[in-house]
Amino acid sequence: MRRIFVILLALLCSVGCVHSKSLDEYAYVLNIGVEPGTTMPYLVTFLVSMPGGGTEEITVTNAVLSAEARTFSEAAETLNAAYPGRLSFSRASLLVLGEDLVREGAQTAFLDFSFGKQDLWQNLRVAVARDSIKELFEGLLTDDDPSLRKIKTAVSKLSTRSGLTMDAGYSAYLEAVQDNRIDAMLTYAGVNEWALSPDLLGDGAYPYTGGSLLVDSTLKTSTAGSAVFDGDRMVGVLNGQHTMSVLMVTDAFRRGKRVFTLPDGRPLVVTLYRMRRPQIELSGDTAQVKLYLEADFSQPQTVPMDSETFKAFVRDRIEADLAAVCRALQNAGSDAMGFGRFAAKAFHSAAAWEAYDWKTAYRALKVTFTVSLGLVNDPRDSGLE
Amino acid sequence: MKKAIRDLFRFDQPYRKFELLETEPKRTPSFFACRKPKQAKEYAIEGTVDRDLKTNRKRLFTLFRGADNSDLILRSFLIGGRVKALAVCLNGMADAKQIGAFILRPAYRANVDGIPEKSLPVFLKERVLSMQEAELCADWATVVSAITEGRTAVLIDGAKEAVLADTRGFVSRPVGEPQNEMTILGPKEAFTENLRTNVTLLRRILKRPDFVCRFRDAGGTNRTKLVIAYLDGTVNPSLLQELERRLDAIASNDPMTVGRVEQLIEEYTYLPMPQMLKTERPDRAAAAVLDGRIALLVEGCPLAGVLPITLGTLMESGEDTDMRQPVGTIVRLIRMTGALLSTYLPAYFLALALHHPGQLSSEILETVISSRSMVFLPLPVEMIFLLLVFQLVREAGLRVPGAVGHAIGIIGGLLLGQAAVSANIVSTVVLIIVALTGLGNFAVPDYSAQVAIAYYRVALCIAASFGGLLGIAVTGLSTTAVLASLKSFGVPFLTPFAPVAAHREHLFWRERIQNRRGASDWANPDRRRA
Amino acid sequence: MNLRLGAFGRQESVSLVLLGTFVSGCFAIDTNAVFRDGNRIYLVQGIATVLALLLFELLTGAIRRRGGNALYALIGDARWKPVLAVPLSLALLLAAMQPMEQYLCAITQYVFVETKQTVICLYLLPCLTLLVLLGAETLARTARLMLPILLLSVLVTLALVAAQGRTYRLYPIPLSDPLAWFEQIAGATYRAFMPLLALLCIGDGTQTPNALKSAGRLGGLLGGGLAVAALFGLSITFSYAQLSGMPSAFYRMLVEVRAENPTLRLDRATFFLWMTGAILVSAFYLYAACVLFAQSFGVRDIRPLGMSVCALAVTLILVLYYDSETTQAVLKTLYRDAWLLALLPVPFLLIRTRKERVVCGVSS
C-alpha cells in the first residue's frame, strides 16, 4: 500500500513539470527599445544575443531585431516566429525609449500593459534615445570585446564615475511616474556625430562630456547628459554639467569633474566629491538647499589665487549654476531635483497630497542654494610653511 | 575426439545440462499472484542432557548429520580408565592440541574412585580440566551452540550435565589496518572477525572496571554471538533495555553482520540515512562508549556498530580530535562545505541552467552553451548519467582488488571523462561539476552516509530538472523535515541543533580537548562525568 | 489519539512562533487594501504585535486557571466546542492560505511566467502534507534549523535596504481616517495573533506552561520586531503608490537593493528560501487547526484529517484563480474579515473561569 502511495505521489509530482528549455534554445534579449512606429503604434527593437561555438572557442552572435506592434507581447511573438531560438527576457538589462515617444508621454500605455507580464529582470536601466534605436543598438556592437554586458555596464557606470549622466532604474522611473514627488531624469543616449540637442538652459556651447564627443570610434553609441521629465512626458535635455548639478541635489552625485573658466580665460578642471548628504528644508514657498562638497584641483601652482579666494570662486559658480538649472527646471515643470519629496511631509493623508497641486506650488518656489566647499590636499594649507 | 565431434552434430541425445527442477505443485500462477515461499521447518532444539551416553551420542550424530558432516568428531574415552565419556567438537573450529593437552591427557590420569557419577562433571571441571574456561551445562541447546562455536562438550555416562570447555582455535585474520577509515595521526588497528579479539582491542583502550562487554546471541535458528559493550553507570539504562528488546525480537536465519543487525533493529528501514555508525576502528568505538553510547560487536564481522548517533557523528572522522583545534575546525569546515557542495551543486546548476538562466552570469552562460553545443543528451540526462557513471566507477574500484582497483579509478576518471567529452556525450562544464561533487562526497567520513547522499543528490537533480529552484526548495524542505523527525534509538538525529542540547557537538567548530567534560548529554546518560 | 504532538523545547517553539509572526506579518498582506491610502503598515504592525501579545497573555492566564496546558483546556465543554473550535480552525486555515497564495502569485508573476498555478500547487501540496503529517515536533525542529539561515538572509537584505532606502517615501503618513486604522490594525492583529493561537493549540508539546508562555512572548516579540523592521525597510524602498497593487513586494525589494551587488545573482535562491519559511508556517497553522479540530470533535488520528485539510487549503487557493467571480468574492471577503473569526471567540474563551482540571486525552 505504501509503495503504491509513493508511486502515485511520484507520478503526481512529475505531472507538475514546469516548462523548461535548454540554455542554447534561447535567444537572450539584452536591450529593449520602443519608439513610435509608422504603421502601428510602436516600433519595438530588441538587441538579441545568442552564445554558441564549441569547446575550443566561444562565439556570440548579436542581432538587432525590430517589429512594429500594438503591445510588447505582440512584438515579442512576432519576432519569436521570425528568429531561431525562443526569446528570453531574463537577461534584459536596458530599456530605451525613443525621444519622440516620451515627448508625447505615449510610453505609459505600452509599459503598463503587457510589459509587466514578461519574465523581465526587475531592475532594468532606462534611457532615452535621441536617434533611431536600431542605430543605437548597432552602435553598441563592436569586435573589440565580445562581452556586451561589460560594455553596457561600463556605459551605465559612467554616471557614478563622472556624474555627467543619470543611471536610472526602471523602478525609479516608475516611482517618478506613479508618484508626484519627483520627476524622472533618464540617461540620454545617441550615436556618434549627433548634433547637440538644445540644452534646457539653452547652453549649447558647453560640451556634453568632460571633453569632446567621440567621433571616430568602434563604439558608436555614447551617453551624455540626461532627459528630464514632467510626469511621463519628456520636457527637455540637460547637458552633462547641468545633470551633475541636479545629481548633487538628489544625492546621486559621488564624484565628477567640472571645468571652470579662470578670469584670464584659461580652463580649470576641478574634481568635486560629495562629503555629506545634502540638506533640504522646505517651508511655505521657500526652499533652502545646502550641499557639502570637496574640491580637488590639479596643478594648484598655476592658479593665481589663494585657497580662500579659490574656494569662493568655485563655490559661487556652482551655486550660480544650481540656481540657473533649478529655474530652468521650474520653467519646464520638471521637479527633477525632487522638492516634492519634502513637500509631502507636511501632509497627513495620501488623498490630501494627491489633491494638492504641487506643480503649481513648485513653479512658484523660491530656492536658495548654499554650497559648503572644502579643499583636498591644498599644499598652500600645509603647516610646514 | 571423434565422439565429441559426432555429439556436436547429433540432435537426438537428451540434454545433459543440470536444471533445477520445480519442486512446487504443478499449477500455473496468475500474473499478479505472488507465490508464498514454503515455510522453513523449525529445528527446535529442546531438552536436556541425558544420563545415557549412547543416547547423547546418537542424538548428536543425528543433529549434526554425522553421516555427511565428516568434521564432527565424537571422541570416546575413559576418565581415569573407568568412566565412559565422550568429547564432541567440530574439526577446524576446536584446537586439537588443547583437547589433547587439557582434556584427554588429564582425564586419563584422573582418579575417579569414590566419586559418584552425578558429581563427575563438577569433579572434571574443578580437578581435571586445566583450561581457562569451563562450565557445566544441562541445556541441550546450549551444548549444541557451544559445539558450533568451537568449544568442546564433554559428556559423561551417568551424568546429566555436560562440561563445556573453551577450546576455540579456528583460524582468523590477525589485527590489521583499517581499510576504509585511513588516518594519518590516529591509531592504525582495526577490528577483526573474531569477537574475542575485538573485545580485547576495546579493553586495551578502556581499562576500567565499569566497562561491560555483555555476551549474548541473536537470530533465529542460526544464533550469532554478539557483544554489547557499554559503560555501566554512564549509559542510559532504558537505551540498554530497548536494545536488548530489539535484539531479542530478531528472528532472521541469515548470517549476522553489523549491517544486517542494524537493519533488523532500526526503526526507519526505508530511509537511506543510517541510524547506526559502523566503524572499523577500536579507538572510535571506545570513544563512543566513553561518550555514553553503546558499541555492538558481532561475531564474524570486522566492524563495530555504535548507537545512538546523530548527523554530527556521521560527519566526524576518527582523527578529528587528534588534530589541533584550529586545524580540526578548518578541516571540519572544508568537510561540511564539501558535503553541501556535493549535495546541492549539481541540482543548483541544473535549476539555473534549465529554469533560471538569468541567474547565471554572461561568462558562465556563454561557456556552458558553447561547451554543450554538440552534446546530444539533454542537460538533466547528462548530469544524472554522469553522476551514476561516477558511482559505477567507484563501485567497480571498490569491488576489484588491489592495484587494478586503483587503476580503474584512474581509467574511469581520466580516460572515460576525456573520451566522453571528445565524443560529445558529455560537456566539460558538467564533467567538472560532477568531479567536484564526487570529491565533496568523499569528504563525508561515513560510507553509508556517502552512499545516502549520493542517491539523494540524484533525486535532487530530478526535482531540479522538473521544477527548478522550486523543486529544490520543496525537496530540501521535505528532507530537512524528515531528518528532523528521524530518531536513532530514541535520540533525534539532528541533535544538538534541533533539539538543542546542552553539550554541543559542533558540526563546524572542533571544541578544545580541555573543555570536554564527560559524556554528551543528548544520549541522556546516567552519569555525565565519565 | 494519535496527534503526533511529541515534545519540543523552548528554542524550537520560539523559532516556530518567530517565523510565523514574521511570515504572516510580511508575506500575507493584501497590498491593494493596505497601501491604498498611504503607508502606515509598519506602525500598524507594531501596534498589532502588542495587541496580539496581550491576547496571548490573557489566554495563557485563562488556560493556567483551568489547569491545562493548551487551548483545548478552554474548549473542553461539549456545548461550546463547535462554536469555538470551528471559527478558530477556519481562521487558522485562512491564515495558512495567505502566505501560500502570495507566493503562488509571485512565482507565476516573476519566476515561472508561463506555468499554471495548478502545476505549482502540485509541488507545494506534497511538501505541505508531509510537514503536517510529521507533526509538531518535526515542525518545531525544522523551524529551529531554518531560522538561522532565514534570519541571515532577511538581515542581509535589510542591511542593504538601510543603505539605499530613503525616508521621504514614508510620507505622507496617513494619521487621519480612524476607520482605515481600525481595519488595518484588526487585520494585522489577526495576522500577528495566528502563530500565537497555533502555539496555544499545540501547547501540550511545549511540555510546561512556563515554556509555552515564554515561547509565545519571545517568539511574538522578536517576530513582530523583525516584521516591523522588514515593513519599514519596504516602506523606505518603495512609495505607497508603487506598493499599492504590487505583487510580492518583498521580492521586488530584494531585487531592487541587490542590483550591481555581489549578491545579485542570489535573489531567486533567497526568494525560494523565504518560500520554504512560508510553507513551514502554513504547515504549522494547518497542523494546529487539525489538532484543535481533532481534540474538539474526538478525531482519533490526525493523519487523514491533515491530508484532507492540506488538500482543502490548496484547492481553496486555486479557487481564487479558476473559479467563478462569486466564489472569488466570497473568499476575498473571508480573507479581509478573517480577524472576526479569530478574535470574536476569544472573549468567550476568557470568560471560562471555572477551575476544573481538564483531561485532554492527548497522546503523541
| pLDDT tens per residue across span C25-63 | 999 888 888 898 889 999 999 999 999 999 999 999 988
**How much is the ipTM here?**
0.92
Rounded Cα gap, residues B56 and B44, in angstroms: 16
Q: How far apart are the first and last CA of chain C?
A: 8
* Chain C environment of B472 (Cβ under 8 Å): 272
Structure letter (DSSP) for residue C78: T
Number of residues assigned to chain B: 530
Using the Cβ of B356 and the Cβ atoms of chain A, whether some distance falls under 8 Å is answered with yes
Structure letter (DSSP) for residue C357: P
pLDDT exceeds 90 at position C235: yes
Using the Cβ of B467 and the Cβ atoms of chain C, whether some distance falls under 8 Å is answered with yes
CA distances from C10 to C70, C199, C216 (A): 15, 12, 10
Assigned C-alpha cell, B385: 548519467
Residue of C nearest to B497 (CA): C145
Q: Do C242 and A174 touch (CB under 8 A)?
A: yes
Residue of C nearest to A117 (CA): C109
Assigned C-alpha cell, B240: 540498554
Q: How far is CA B520 from the centre of its chain?
A: 25
pLDDT at residue B225, rounded to an integer = 87
The 3-state secondary structure of chain A, one letter per residue: CHHHHHHHHHHHHHHCCCCCCCHHHEEEEEEEEEEECCCCCEEEEEEEEEEEECCCCEEEEEEEEEEEECCHHHHHHHHHHHCCCEEECCCCCEEEEEHHHHHHCCHHHHHHCHHHHCCCCCCCEEEEECCCHHHHHHCCCCCCCCCHHHHHHHHHHHHHHHCCECCCEHHHHHHHHHCCCCCCEEEEEEECCCCCCCCCCCCCCCCCCCCCCCCCCCCCEEEEEEEEEECCEEEEEECHHHHHHHHHHHCCCCEEEEEEECCCCCEEEEEEEEEEEEEEEEECCEEEEEEEEEEEECCHHHCCCCHHHHHHHHHHHHHHHHHHHHHHHHHHCCCCCCCHHHHHHHCCCHHHHHHCCHHHHHHCCEEEEEEEEEECCCHHHCCCC
Q: Which residues contact B36 (CB under 8 A, 6 or more apart)?
A: none
Using the Cβ of B366 and the Cβ atoms of chain A, whether some distance falls under 8 Å is answered with yes
Q: How far is CA B36 from the centre of its chain?
A: 29
Q: Do C272 and B499 touch (CB under 8 A)?
A: no
Q: Within chain C, what is the greatest distance between any pair of CA atoms?
A: 63
Using the Cβ of B456 and the Cβ atoms of chain C, whether some distance falls under 8 Å is answered with no
Three-state SS at C156: helix
The DSSP string of B264-329 is: HH-S-TTSSS-SSEEES-HHHHHHHHHTT-EEEEETT-S-EEEES--HHHHH--TTTTTS-HHHHH
Chains contacting B (3+ CB pairs below 8 angstroms): A, C
* Chain A environment of B466 (Cβ under 8 Å): 13-14, 16-18
Q: Within chain A, what is the greatest distance between any pair of CA atoms?
A: 97
Rounded Cα gap, residues B366 and A60, in angstroms: 8
CB-based contact A280:A227 (threshold 8 Å) = no
Residue among A129, A240, A167, A213 nearest A138 (CA): A129
Rounded Cα gap, residues C98 and C86, in angstroms: 18
Amino acid (one-letter) located at B265: I
Identify the CATH number of the domain defined by range A255-385: 3.30.300.210
Rounded Cα gap, residues C97 and C316, in angstroms: 8
* Chain C environment of B524 (Cβ under 8 Å): none
Span C166-172, average pLDDT: 90
Q: Between vectors from CA A326 to CA A320 and to CA A327, what angle results, nearest 5°?
A: 90
Using the Cβ of C297 and the Cβ atoms of chain A, whether some distance falls under 8 Å is answered with no
What's the predicted TM-score (pTM) here?
0.85
Please name the member of C11, C112, C146 whose beta carbon is closest to the beta carbon of B500.
Answer: C11
% of chain C beyond a pLDDT of 70: 93
Select from A3, A7, A20, A87 the residue whose CB has the most chain B CBs within 10 Å, as the one to mutate to test that interface: A20
Instruction: Give residue limits of the domains in chain C.
Output: 10-358
Rounded Cα gap, residues A35 and A136, in angstroms: 12
Please name the member of C124, C141, C142 whose beta carbon is closest to the beta carbon of B474.
Answer: C124
Give mean pLDDT in consecutive 10-residue pieces for chain B, a chain of 530 residues: 71 54 49 47 71 92 83 90 91 86 90 83 88 89 87 92 87 77 80 88 83 85 86 85 89 84 86 89 90 90 91 83 83 89 93 87 82 84 89 82 69 75 85 90 87 91 92 94 90 82 65 69 59
| pLDDT tens per residue across span C121-140 | 989 999 999 999 999 999 99
Work out the minimum CA distance from A120 to partner chain C, whole angstroms: 8
Amino acid (one-letter) located at B530: A
Q: Do C38 and A17 touch (CB under 8 A)?
A: no
* Chain C environment of B473 (Cβ under 8 Å): 272-273, 275-276
Using the Cβ of C265 and the Cβ atoms of chain A, whether some distance falls under 8 Å is answered with no
* Chain C environment of B360 (Cβ under 8 Å): 265
- Ranges of H-type helices in B95-139: 96-99, 105-109, 120-123
Rounded Cα gap, residues A346 and B391, in angstroms: 69
Chains contacting C (3+ CB pairs below 8 angstroms): A, B
Q: Do C119 and A18 touch (CB under 8 A)?
A: yes
CA distances from A360 to A262, A330, A364, B375, C16 (A): 39, 10, 7, 65, 53
pLDDT at residue B296, rounded to an integer = 94
- Cα atoms found within 13 Å of the Cα of residue B179, Cβ hemisphere only: 11
Q: Do B356 and C137 touch (CB under 8 A)?
A: no
| pLDDT tens per residue across span C60-99 | 998 888 888 888 888 876 567 778 888 899 999 999 999 9
Q: Do A18 and C172 touch (CB under 8 A)?
A: no
- At residue C327, φ and ψ (nearest 5 deg) are -65, -40
pLDDT at residue B33, rounded to an integer = 47
CB-based contact B115:B123 (threshold 8 Å) = yes
* Chain B environment of A3 (Cβ under 8 Å): none
CATH superfamily of C10-358: Amino acid/polyamine transporter I (1.20.1740.10)
Q: Do A123 and C259 touch (CB under 8 A)?
A: yes
| pLDDT tens per residue across span C17-27 | 999 999 999 99
Rounded Cα gap, residues B462 and A16, in angstroms: 12
Q: Do B373 and A52 touch (CB under 8 A)?
A: yes
Assigned C-alpha cell, C39: 503607508
Amino acid (one-letter) located at C123: Y
CB-based contact C76:C333 (threshold 8 Å) = no
Q: Which residues contact A142 (CB under 8 A, 6 or more apart)?
A: A151, A218, A219
Residue entry with cell 550469532: B224
C-contacting residues in A 18-57 (Cβ below 8 Å): 18-19
pLDDT at residue B406, rounded to an integer = 67
Select from B345, B362, B466, B470 the residue whose CB has the most chain C CBs within 10 Å, as the one to mutate to test that interface: B470
Using the Cβ of B88 and the Cβ atoms of chain A, whether some distance falls under 8 Å is answered with no
Beta-strand pair A125-129/A58-69: unpaired
Residue among B358, B350, B366 nearest B437 (CA): B350
At B40, which helix (H) or strand (E)? none
Rounded Cα gap, residues B62 and B513, in angstroms: 60
Residue entry with cell 574640491: A295
Residue entry with cell 558540526: B507
Using the Cβ of C177 and the Cβ atoms of chain A, whether some distance falls under 8 Å is answered with yes
Q: Do C123 and B492 touch (CB under 8 A)?
A: no
Please name the member of C38, C176, C259 whose beta carbon is closest to the beta carbon of A169.
Answer: C259
Residue of A nearest to C168 (CA): A341
Sequence-ordered strand ranges (E) for chain C: none
Chains contacting A (3+ CB pairs below 8 angstroms): B, C
Using the Cβ of C33 and the Cβ atoms of chain B, whether some distance falls under 8 Å is answered with no
Please name the member of B470, B474, B481 whose beta carbon is closest to the beta carbon of C138.
Answer: B481
Please name the member of B357, B427, B470 whose beta carbon is closest to the beta carbon of A90.
Answer: B357
Residue of A nearest to C39 (CA): A350
Q: How far is CA B146 from the centre of its chain?
A: 24
Structure letter (DSSP) for residue B94: B
Strand partners, B154: B87, B163
Burial level of A342, CB count in 10 A (0-12/13-18/19+)?
middle
Q: Do A181 and C168 touch (CB under 8 A)?
A: yes
* Chain C environment of B476 (Cβ under 8 Å): 276
CB-based contact B530:B519 (threshold 8 Å) = yes
Rounded Cα gap, residues C124 and C112, in angstroms: 14
Rounded Cα gap, residues B208 and A384, in angstroms: 79
Max mean pLDDT range (A339-353, B490-504, C227-241, C245-259): C227-241
C-contacting residues in A 135-194 (Cβ below 8 Å): 169, 171, 174-175, 178-179, 181
Please name the member of B368, B466, B470 whose beta carbon is closest to the beta carbon of A23.
Answer: B368
Using the Cβ of B469 and the Cβ atoms of chain C, whether some distance falls under 8 Å is answered with yes
**How many pairs of residues across A and C have Cβ atoms under 8 Å apart?**
87
* pLDDT under 50: residue ranges of chain A: 16, 205-215, 385
Residue entry with cell 584512474: B410
Q: Is B340 left (phi over 0), alpha (psi -120 to 50) or beta?
A: alpha
Residue among A337, A358, A336, A334 nearest A346 (CA): A358
Q: Do A117 and C252 touch (CB under 8 A)?
A: no
Q: Do A55 and B428 touch (CB under 8 A)?
A: yes
pLDDT at residue C363, rounded to an integer = 40
Rounded Cα gap, residues C277 and B46, in angstroms: 61
Select from C31, C112, C168 the residue whose CB has the most chain A CBs within 10 Å, as the one to mutate to test that interface: C168
Instruction: Give residue limits of the domains in chain A.
Output: 25-185, 255-385
Rounded Cα gap, residues A345 and C167, in angstroms: 10
pLDDT at residue B521, rounded to an integer = 67
Q: How far is CA A268 from the centre of its chain?
A: 27
